[in-house]
Amino acid sequence: MSASAFNRPGTGIVFVLAGVAAISVNDMLIKELSGGYPLHQLVFTRSAIGILFSLAMVQFEGGWQILKTEQPGLHILRGLLVVIANMTFFAALAVLPLAEATALFFVAPLFITLLSIPLLGEKVGPLRIGAVVVGFVGALIMQRPWQGGDTLEVSRLVLSLPILAALFYALNQLMTRKLGATTQASALAVYIQGMFIIVSIGFFTVAGDGRFAEGAQNDSVIFLLRAWVWPAEGDWPYLIGLGLNSAIIGYCLSQAYRLADAATIAPFEYVGLPLAVFWGWAIWAELPDPEVWIGMALIAGSGLFVFLRERQKARRIARDARIKARY
């Protein structure tokens, strides 16, 4: 396939917007269900359902043969990065308000911009580096460093979990850009769903009876390790929705980072911030604290600046190419 087939920023942006909308619904559903089910059970259920949709997309994009790969190790590594990113973020989500957890996680596009330099060889100028620094200052403000650990409503460990998740997510998306040159988006989604299923079965084997959650006081630990239970009848629509969203997320984000430059795609993920605020307000009557509003503004502002600089750079390169073509 030609290189131009993997340089379609407009299409990539459409896919990332669809993927982020699905992520927002997914996070809302996970938080809503976190009080009654262990995280690994929710992950297993959504992936077992989601992989069926992903396999259907495999048939649409070329059939079973597109699942063959010459880089199984890299796909396994990418799948593990996604699993770690999701499990870490969801563990925080059981404790933190949805908007705050999402805002902290949204340093991921900043990580992507930084890591695209050594890993993808992309050029990021000093102004964009400065914008990234501003974004991390926003994340630092949301950590409330002026407060002692005994006055925080949650532990600093929980506050750091979304940032750790963001780092692993950024590494995953950069790997998607590399692997996407030879692998269809539906196959990438199947590999990830399969890894989620394997890891969640492992959790069930070791901790599915809930013995490691006995006596635990931390809500994140309880969410991670409580015993599996048979879903209540009224929860099945939520669980099926999780599975459908899982397929949409895996396909759309894989496609987005296959088709466009990482620094171009990443800032559009910030649409998830207002969506998280909306769900938090509509379902749990949560509104962000002033520190969270400030942090969100700095992170989103830095991301938009990075995007605008990328657009200016792309236009300048295109203009220079046209001028050279004339002479």
Q: Is pLDDT of 3 > 60?
A: no
Q: What is the pLDDT of residues 28-68, one digit of tens each?
A: 999 999 988 999 999 999 899 889 888 988 988 889 998 98
Contact 176, 55 (CB under 8 A): no
Please, which residues have CB within 8 angstroms of residue 158's CB and are 6 or more apart in sequence?
91, 92, 95, 96, 218, 220
Contact 225, 207 (CB under 8 A): yes
What local confidence, expressed as pLDDT, does residue 113 receive? 82
Kindly list the domain boundaries of the chain, sorted by start residue. 3-326
Predicted TM-score (pTM) of the model is 0.81
What local confidence, expressed as pLDDT, does residue 263 receive? 64
Token pair 């989620």: residue: 196
| DSSP letter (8 states) at residue 152 | S
Token pair 């379609």: residue: 8
Residues 27, 116, 195: CA angle, nearest 5 degrees: 45
- Tell me the percentage of the chain whose pLDDT exceeds 90: 37
What local confidence, expressed as pLDDT, does residue 181 receive? 64
Question: Alpha-carbon distance 144 to 76, whole Å?
Answer: 36
